[in-house]
Structure 1
Amino acid sequence: MAITQKDRIAVPLIIALSVIVPLVVLILMYLPERYNLFGTQAGTFPLFHAVLNGTTALLLLMGYYFMNVKEYLLHRNVMIAAFALSAIFLVSYVISKISNDPVAYGGEGVLRYVYFFILITHILLSAIIVPLVLFTMYHGLTAQYEKHARIARWTFPVWLYVAITGVLVYVFMLPYY
Protein backbone atom coordinates (compact mmCIF):
# COMPACT_ATOMS: atom_id res chain seq x y z
CA MET A 1 0.00 0.00 0.00
CA ALA A 2 1.13 3.51 -0.73
CA ILE A 3 2.18 5.79 2.06
CA THR A 4 -0.10 8.80 2.23
CA GLN A 5 0.83 12.35 3.16
CA LYS A 6 -1.07 11.83 6.43
CA ASP A 7 1.04 8.73 7.14
CA ARG A 8 4.25 10.71 6.62
CA ILE A 9 3.22 12.97 9.48
CA ALA A 10 1.32 10.56 11.73
CA VAL A 11 3.71 7.59 11.72
CA PRO A 12 6.80 9.51 12.92
CA LEU A 13 4.63 11.31 15.48
CA ILE A 14 3.26 8.01 16.80
CA ILE A 15 6.77 6.55 16.96
CA ALA A 16 8.09 9.63 18.77
CA LEU A 17 5.25 9.52 21.32
CA SER A 18 5.78 5.78 21.76
CA VAL A 19 9.38 6.44 22.81
CA ILE A 20 8.87 9.69 24.73
CA VAL A 21 5.91 8.63 26.91
CA PRO A 22 7.57 5.58 28.53
CA LEU A 23 10.83 7.51 28.94
CA VAL A 24 9.10 10.40 30.72
CA VAL A 25 7.31 7.99 33.06
CA LEU A 26 10.58 6.16 33.78
CA ILE A 27 12.40 9.41 34.51
CA LEU A 28 9.62 10.60 36.81
CA MET A 29 9.77 7.34 38.78
CA TYR A 30 13.30 8.27 39.83
CA LEU A 31 12.85 11.94 40.64
CA PRO A 32 15.02 12.84 43.64
CA GLU A 33 12.33 15.19 44.98
CA ARG A 34 8.53 15.25 44.73
CA TYR A 35 6.36 18.32 44.18
CA ASN A 36 2.86 17.67 45.49
CA LEU A 37 1.10 19.84 42.95
CA PHE A 38 -2.41 19.38 44.33
CA GLY A 39 -1.70 18.58 47.98
CA THR A 40 -3.05 15.06 47.56
CA GLN A 41 -2.59 12.10 49.87
CA ALA A 42 -0.73 9.02 48.64
CA GLY A 43 -3.87 6.94 47.89
CA THR A 44 -5.83 9.60 46.00
CA PHE A 45 -4.26 9.14 42.59
CA PRO A 46 -4.23 5.32 42.72
CA LEU A 47 -7.99 5.19 43.41
CA PHE A 48 -8.63 7.57 40.52
CA HIS A 49 -6.35 5.48 38.29
CA ALA A 50 -8.14 2.27 39.26
CA VAL A 51 -11.49 3.84 38.36
CA LEU A 52 -10.10 5.01 35.01
CA ASN A 53 -8.58 1.58 34.30
CA GLY A 54 -11.74 -0.28 35.31
CA THR A 55 -13.92 1.97 33.18
CA THR A 56 -11.51 1.64 30.27
CA ALA A 57 -11.71 -2.17 30.55
CA LEU A 58 -15.51 -2.01 30.43
CA LEU A 59 -15.42 0.32 27.42
CA LEU A 60 -12.99 -2.00 25.63
CA LEU A 61 -15.34 -4.94 26.17
CA MET A 62 -18.27 -2.85 24.92
CA GLY A 63 -16.25 -1.79 21.88
CA TYR A 64 -15.41 -5.40 21.13
CA TYR A 65 -19.07 -6.34 21.42
CA PHE A 66 -20.20 -3.50 19.14
CA MET A 67 -17.59 -4.47 16.56
CA ASN A 68 -18.80 -8.09 16.61
CA VAL A 69 -22.44 -7.07 16.08
CA LYS A 70 -21.35 -4.68 13.31
CA GLU A 71 -22.41 -1.53 15.15
CA TYR A 72 -19.36 0.32 13.87
CA LEU A 73 -20.41 3.83 14.89
CA LEU A 74 -20.99 2.67 18.47
CA HIS A 75 -17.71 0.74 18.32
CA ARG A 76 -15.86 3.87 17.19
CA ASN A 77 -17.42 6.09 19.85
CA VAL A 78 -16.78 3.66 22.69
CA MET A 79 -13.18 3.14 21.59
CA ILE A 80 -12.62 6.90 21.40
CA ALA A 81 -13.99 7.14 24.95
CA ALA A 82 -11.60 4.37 26.07
CA PHE A 83 -8.73 6.24 24.40
CA ALA A 84 -9.76 9.49 26.11
CA LEU A 85 -9.84 7.79 29.52
CA SER A 86 -6.42 6.29 28.85
CA ALA A 87 -5.06 9.71 27.92
CA ILE A 88 -6.52 11.19 31.12
CA PHE A 89 -4.96 8.29 33.02
CA LEU A 90 -1.56 8.98 31.47
CA VAL A 91 -1.61 12.69 32.35
CA SER A 92 -2.82 11.91 35.87
CA TYR A 93 -0.21 9.18 36.28
CA VAL A 94 2.57 11.59 35.32
CA ILE A 95 1.23 14.16 37.80
CA SER A 96 1.05 11.47 40.50
CA LYS A 97 4.69 10.50 39.92
CA ILE A 98 5.71 14.14 40.28
CA SER A 99 3.54 14.57 43.40
CA ASN A 100 3.95 11.47 45.56
CA ASP A 101 6.76 9.16 46.59
CA PRO A 102 6.37 5.56 45.44
CA VAL A 103 4.69 3.25 47.95
CA ALA A 104 6.28 -0.14 48.52
CA TYR A 105 4.28 -3.36 48.46
CA GLY A 106 4.31 -4.99 51.89
CA GLY A 107 2.69 -8.33 51.13
CA GLU A 108 4.41 -11.63 51.84
CA GLY A 109 4.34 -15.23 50.70
CA VAL A 110 2.70 -16.37 47.49
CA LEU A 111 0.73 -13.11 47.16
CA ARG A 112 4.01 -11.24 46.84
CA TYR A 113 4.97 -13.36 43.80
CA VAL A 114 1.52 -12.97 42.27
CA TYR A 115 1.63 -9.20 42.83
CA PHE A 116 5.06 -8.78 41.25
CA PHE A 117 4.13 -10.97 38.28
CA ILE A 118 1.05 -8.82 37.68
CA LEU A 119 2.99 -5.59 38.25
CA ILE A 120 5.92 -6.47 35.98
CA THR A 121 3.72 -7.70 33.12
CA HIS A 122 1.51 -4.62 33.58
CA ILE A 123 4.50 -2.27 33.35
CA LEU A 124 6.07 -4.00 30.34
CA LEU A 125 2.80 -4.15 28.42
CA SER A 126 2.00 -0.53 29.36
CA ALA A 127 5.01 0.56 27.32
CA ILE A 128 4.02 -1.67 24.41
CA ILE A 129 0.40 -0.52 24.43
CA VAL A 130 1.25 3.10 23.58
CA PRO A 131 2.19 2.49 19.92
CA LEU A 132 -0.41 -0.26 19.54
CA VAL A 133 -3.25 2.02 20.63
CA LEU A 134 -1.98 5.00 18.66
CA PHE A 135 -1.60 3.02 15.44
CA THR A 136 -4.95 1.26 15.94
CA MET A 137 -6.74 4.55 16.55
CA TYR A 138 -4.99 6.22 13.63
CA HIS A 139 -5.88 3.46 11.17
CA GLY A 140 -9.47 3.34 12.37
CA LEU A 141 -9.99 7.10 12.26
CA THR A 142 -8.41 7.40 8.79
CA ALA A 143 -10.63 4.61 7.41
CA GLN A 144 -7.72 2.21 6.86
CA TYR A 145 -9.93 -0.57 8.16
CA GLU A 146 -7.83 -3.52 6.99
CA LYS A 147 -4.76 -2.18 8.82
CA HIS A 148 -6.96 -1.24 11.76
CA ALA A 149 -8.36 -4.76 12.06
CA ARG A 150 -4.92 -6.39 11.75
CA ILE A 151 -3.37 -4.36 14.57
CA ALA A 152 -6.54 -4.29 16.71
CA ARG A 153 -6.28 -8.08 17.07
CA TRP A 154 -3.12 -7.44 19.10
CA THR A 155 -4.10 -4.14 20.67
CA PHE A 156 -7.38 -5.27 22.21
CA PRO A 157 -6.09 -8.12 24.44
CA VAL A 158 -2.97 -6.20 25.49
CA TRP A 159 -4.94 -3.02 26.27
CA LEU A 160 -7.57 -5.01 28.15
CA TYR A 161 -4.87 -6.82 30.15
CA VAL A 162 -3.17 -3.53 31.04
CA ALA A 163 -6.48 -1.98 32.13
CA ILE A 164 -7.50 -4.97 34.27
CA THR A 165 -4.08 -5.43 35.84
CA GLY A 166 -4.03 -1.71 36.63
CA VAL A 167 -7.07 -2.31 38.82
CA LEU A 168 -5.49 -5.44 40.33
CA VAL A 169 -2.30 -3.56 41.23
CA TYR A 170 -4.46 -1.01 43.05
CA VAL A 171 -6.31 -3.77 44.94
CA PHE A 172 -3.01 -5.38 45.99
CA MET A 173 -1.58 -2.01 47.09
CA LEU A 174 -4.70 -0.73 48.88
CA PRO A 175 -3.54 -1.72 52.40
CA TYR A 176 -0.25 0.17 51.94
CA TYR A 177 -1.50 3.61 50.87
Structure 2
Amino acid sequence: MENNIETKYNKLITAVSIIIPIAVAALFGVNLRKLGYDVEPLNFLPPIYATINGITAVLLVIAVLAIKNGKRKLHEYLMKTAIACSLTFLLMYVAYHMTSISAVFGDTNHNSILEESERIAIGFERINYLFILITHISLSVIIIPLVLITYVRALAYRFDKHKKLARITFPIWLYVAVTGVVVYVMIAPYYVK
Protein backbone atom coordinates (compact mmCIF):
# COMPACT_ATOMS: atom_id res chain seq x y z
CA MET A 1 0.00 0.00 0.00
CA GLU A 2 2.78 2.43 0.91
CA ASN A 3 4.51 2.05 -2.46
CA ASN A 4 1.14 2.48 -4.20
CA ILE A 5 0.77 5.96 -2.70
CA GLU A 6 4.23 6.98 -3.88
CA THR A 7 3.65 5.45 -7.33
CA LYS A 8 0.25 7.11 -7.56
CA TYR A 9 1.73 10.57 -6.97
CA ASN A 10 4.96 10.22 -9.00
CA LYS A 11 3.38 11.28 -12.32
CA LEU A 12 1.56 14.15 -10.64
CA ILE A 13 4.75 15.33 -8.94
CA THR A 14 6.62 15.17 -12.23
CA ALA A 15 3.87 17.09 -14.03
CA VAL A 16 3.59 19.76 -11.34
CA SER A 17 7.37 20.10 -11.13
CA ILE A 18 7.51 20.84 -14.85
CA ILE A 19 4.29 22.82 -15.28
CA ILE A 20 4.75 25.28 -12.39
CA PRO A 21 8.16 26.66 -13.46
CA ILE A 22 7.09 26.85 -17.11
CA ALA A 23 3.79 28.55 -16.20
CA VAL A 24 5.53 31.01 -13.85
CA ALA A 25 8.15 31.84 -16.49
CA ALA A 26 5.47 32.30 -19.15
CA LEU A 27 3.21 34.40 -16.92
CA PHE A 28 6.19 36.41 -15.64
CA GLY A 29 6.68 37.59 -19.23
CA VAL A 30 3.01 38.59 -19.57
CA ASN A 31 2.29 42.07 -18.30
CA LEU A 32 -1.37 42.94 -18.71
CA ARG A 33 -0.69 46.68 -18.57
CA LYS A 34 1.89 46.46 -21.36
CA LEU A 35 -0.66 44.50 -23.40
CA GLY A 36 -3.08 47.41 -23.12
CA TYR A 37 -5.40 46.10 -20.41
CA ASP A 38 -6.61 48.64 -17.90
CA VAL A 39 -5.69 46.78 -14.72
CA GLU A 40 -4.77 48.22 -11.39
CA PRO A 41 -1.12 47.49 -10.59
CA LEU A 42 -0.82 45.27 -7.52
CA ASN A 43 2.14 47.23 -6.14
CA PHE A 44 1.10 46.46 -2.57
CA LEU A 45 1.91 42.73 -2.96
CA PRO A 46 5.75 42.57 -2.69
CA PRO A 47 5.94 43.35 1.04
CA ILE A 48 3.10 40.89 1.64
CA TYR A 49 4.70 38.04 -0.27
CA ALA A 50 8.09 38.82 1.27
CA THR A 51 6.43 38.52 4.70
CA ILE A 52 4.90 35.21 3.63
CA ASN A 53 8.40 34.01 2.73
CA GLY A 54 9.57 35.02 6.19
CA ILE A 55 6.64 33.21 7.79
CA THR A 56 7.48 30.13 5.72
CA ALA A 57 11.05 30.20 7.02
CA VAL A 58 9.85 30.43 10.62
CA LEU A 59 7.32 27.62 10.08
CA LEU A 60 10.05 25.38 8.66
CA VAL A 61 12.34 25.91 11.64
CA ILE A 62 9.53 25.36 14.15
CA ALA A 63 8.41 22.25 12.23
CA VAL A 64 11.89 20.74 12.47
CA LEU A 65 12.01 21.50 16.19
CA ALA A 66 8.56 19.95 16.60
CA ILE A 67 9.52 16.67 14.95
CA LYS A 68 12.79 16.52 16.91
CA ASN A 69 10.68 16.79 20.06
CA GLY A 70 8.36 14.01 18.92
CA LYS A 71 5.40 16.26 18.09
CA ARG A 72 4.43 14.63 14.80
CA LYS A 73 0.95 16.16 14.48
CA LEU A 74 2.30 19.67 15.08
CA HIS A 75 5.08 19.00 12.55
CA GLU A 76 2.52 17.82 9.99
CA TYR A 77 0.32 20.89 10.54
CA LEU A 78 3.28 23.27 10.27
CA MET A 79 4.53 21.63 7.09
CA LYS A 80 1.08 21.81 5.45
CA THR A 81 0.92 25.47 6.45
CA ALA A 82 4.40 26.09 5.00
CA ILE A 83 3.29 24.50 1.71
CA ALA A 84 0.16 26.68 1.70
CA CYS A 85 2.31 29.76 2.35
CA SER A 86 4.61 28.85 -0.53
CA LEU A 87 1.63 28.46 -2.87
CA THR A 88 0.18 31.77 -1.69
CA PHE A 89 3.54 33.45 -2.29
CA LEU A 90 3.68 32.02 -5.81
CA LEU A 91 0.19 33.25 -6.70
CA MET A 92 0.91 36.75 -5.37
CA TYR A 93 4.29 36.87 -7.11
CA VAL A 94 2.75 36.02 -10.48
CA ALA A 95 -0.16 38.44 -9.94
CA TYR A 96 2.25 41.27 -9.10
CA HIS A 97 4.42 40.68 -12.17
CA MET A 98 1.39 40.40 -14.45
CA THR A 99 0.02 43.77 -13.35
CA SER A 100 3.02 45.88 -12.36
CA ILE A 101 6.25 47.16 -13.82
CA SER A 102 9.12 45.07 -12.46
CA ALA A 103 11.69 46.87 -10.39
CA VAL A 104 15.24 47.09 -11.70
CA PHE A 105 17.95 46.83 -9.06
CA GLY A 106 19.88 50.10 -8.92
CA ASP A 107 17.30 52.13 -10.88
CA THR A 108 17.26 55.17 -8.59
CA ASN A 109 15.22 57.36 -10.95
CA HIS A 110 12.56 54.62 -11.31
CA ASN A 111 12.38 54.72 -15.12
CA SER A 112 12.79 50.90 -15.39
CA ILE A 113 16.16 51.32 -17.12
CA LEU A 114 19.49 50.82 -15.41
CA GLU A 115 21.52 53.68 -16.80
CA GLU A 116 25.32 53.62 -16.83
CA SER A 117 25.54 56.21 -14.03
CA GLU A 118 23.21 54.09 -11.89
CA ARG A 119 25.19 50.94 -12.69
CA ILE A 120 28.41 52.64 -11.57
CA ALA A 121 26.78 54.05 -8.42
CA ILE A 122 25.42 50.67 -7.34
CA GLY A 123 28.72 48.90 -8.05
CA PHE A 124 29.33 45.43 -6.65
CA GLU A 125 26.11 45.48 -4.65
CA ARG A 126 24.33 44.57 -7.91
CA ILE A 127 26.52 41.47 -8.25
CA ASN A 128 25.58 40.41 -4.71
CA TYR A 129 21.91 41.01 -5.47
CA LEU A 130 22.03 39.06 -8.73
CA PHE A 131 23.85 36.15 -7.07
CA ILE A 132 21.21 35.93 -4.34
CA LEU A 133 18.37 36.34 -6.87
CA ILE A 134 19.72 33.72 -9.29
CA THR A 135 20.35 31.15 -6.55
CA HIS A 136 16.92 31.92 -5.07
CA ILE A 137 15.17 31.39 -8.41
CA SER A 138 17.20 28.30 -9.34
CA LEU A 139 16.62 26.61 -6.01
CA SER A 140 12.93 27.56 -6.03
CA VAL A 141 12.56 25.41 -9.15
CA ILE A 142 14.47 22.53 -7.56
CA ILE A 143 12.52 22.72 -4.30
CA ILE A 144 9.15 21.98 -5.93
CA PRO A 145 9.73 18.26 -6.54
CA LEU A 146 11.76 17.91 -3.34
CA VAL A 147 8.90 19.24 -1.19
CA LEU A 148 6.31 17.17 -3.01
CA ILE A 149 8.29 13.92 -2.85
CA THR A 150 9.15 14.50 0.80
CA TYR A 151 5.49 15.16 1.57
CA VAL A 152 4.27 12.07 -0.31
CA ARG A 153 6.78 9.88 1.51
CA ALA A 154 5.24 11.04 4.78
CA LEU A 155 1.74 10.36 3.41
CA ALA A 156 2.89 6.85 2.50
CA TYR A 157 4.27 6.31 6.02
CA ARG A 158 7.74 5.85 4.54
CA PHE A 159 9.27 7.86 7.36
CA ASP A 160 12.76 6.45 6.83
CA LYS A 161 12.80 7.75 3.24
CA HIS A 162 10.93 10.90 4.27
CA LYS A 163 13.51 11.77 6.92
CA LYS A 164 16.42 11.09 4.57
CA LEU A 165 15.03 13.38 1.85
CA ALA A 166 13.86 16.00 4.37
CA ARG A 167 17.50 16.50 5.39
CA ILE A 168 18.13 17.74 1.83
CA THR A 169 14.78 19.49 1.32
CA PHE A 170 14.78 21.51 4.56
CA PRO A 171 17.95 23.59 4.05
CA ILE A 172 17.13 24.30 0.40
CA TRP A 173 13.55 25.33 1.21
CA LEU A 174 14.77 27.43 4.13
CA TYR A 175 17.33 29.14 1.85
CA VAL A 176 14.63 29.89 -0.75
CA ALA A 177 12.30 31.34 1.92
CA VAL A 178 14.99 33.46 3.59
CA THR A 179 16.48 34.74 0.33
CA GLY A 180 12.98 35.67 -0.80
CA VAL A 181 12.94 38.16 2.06
CA VAL A 182 16.51 39.28 1.36
CA VAL A 183 15.76 39.88 -2.32
CA TYR A 184 12.74 41.98 -1.38
CA VAL A 185 14.69 44.06 1.16
CA MET A 186 17.45 44.67 -1.38
CA ILE A 187 15.17 45.68 -4.26
CA ALA A 188 12.47 47.53 -2.28
CA PRO A 189 14.04 50.99 -2.79
CA TYR A 190 13.80 50.53 -6.56
CA TYR A 191 10.12 49.64 -6.91
CA VAL A 192 8.27 51.92 -9.32
CA LYS A 193 5.79 53.87 -7.24
Instruction: Give the TM-score taking structure 2 as reference length.
Output: 0.83
1:75 equivalent in alignment to 2:75: yes
Q: Using the alignment, how far apart are the partners of 1:96 and 1:36 within structure 2?
A: 14
| Aligned amino acid, residue 165 of structure 2 | I
Count of equivalent residues = 174
Q: Are the counterparts in 2 of residues 45 and 96 from structure 1 also a CA contact under 8 Å?
A: yes
CA displacement 1:50-74 (0-9 Å, x = unmatched): 1100000000000111111121111
Partner letter of residue 16 of structure 1?
Answer: A
Q: Match for residue 51 of structure 2?
A: 51
CA change 1:36–1:73 in 2 (3 A) is farther
Shift in CA distance, 145/116, structure 1 to aligned 2, threshold 3 Å: same
- Report the CA distance between 1:140 and its aligned residue: 1.3
TM-score by length of 1: 0.90
Deviations 1:116-138 (A, max 9, x none): 11001001001001101111111
Comparing 99-108 with 10-19, greater Cα deviation is found at 99-108
Q: Deviations along 1:67-119, whole A, 9 cap, x unmatched?
A: 11121111111111111111111122222222222211117122111111100
Cα offset, 1:2, TM superposition: 7.8
Worse-matched range after superposition: 153-162 or 76-85:
76-85
Match of 1:126 in 2: 140
Which residue of structure 2 lines up, in the alignment, with residue 16 of structure 1? Answer: 15
| Deviation at residue 41 of structure 1 after TM alignment | 4.3
Tell me which residue corresponds to 2:115: none
> Residue 25 of structure 2 aligns with which residue?
26
**Contact 2:67-2:75 within 8 A present in 1 as well:** yes
Question: Quick one: distance in 2 between partners of 1:142 and 1:51?
Answer: 32
Kindly report which structure 2 residues correspond to 1:19-168, keeping only aligned pairs within 5 A, or say none.
19-31=18-30, 33-34=32-33, 39-42=40-43, 44-106=44-106, 108-168=122-182
Q: Deviating runs (4+, > 4 A) in structure 1?
A: none
Question: Radius of gyration: which is bigger?
Answer: 2
Structure 1 unaligned residues grouped into runs of 5+ = none
CA contact (8 A) 1:18 1:130 kept: yes
Q: Distance in 1 between matches of 2:22 and 2:165?
A: 23
Q: Percent identity?
A: 41
Please identify, of 87-96 and 162-171, the stretch whose mean Cα deviation from structure 2 is larger.
87-96
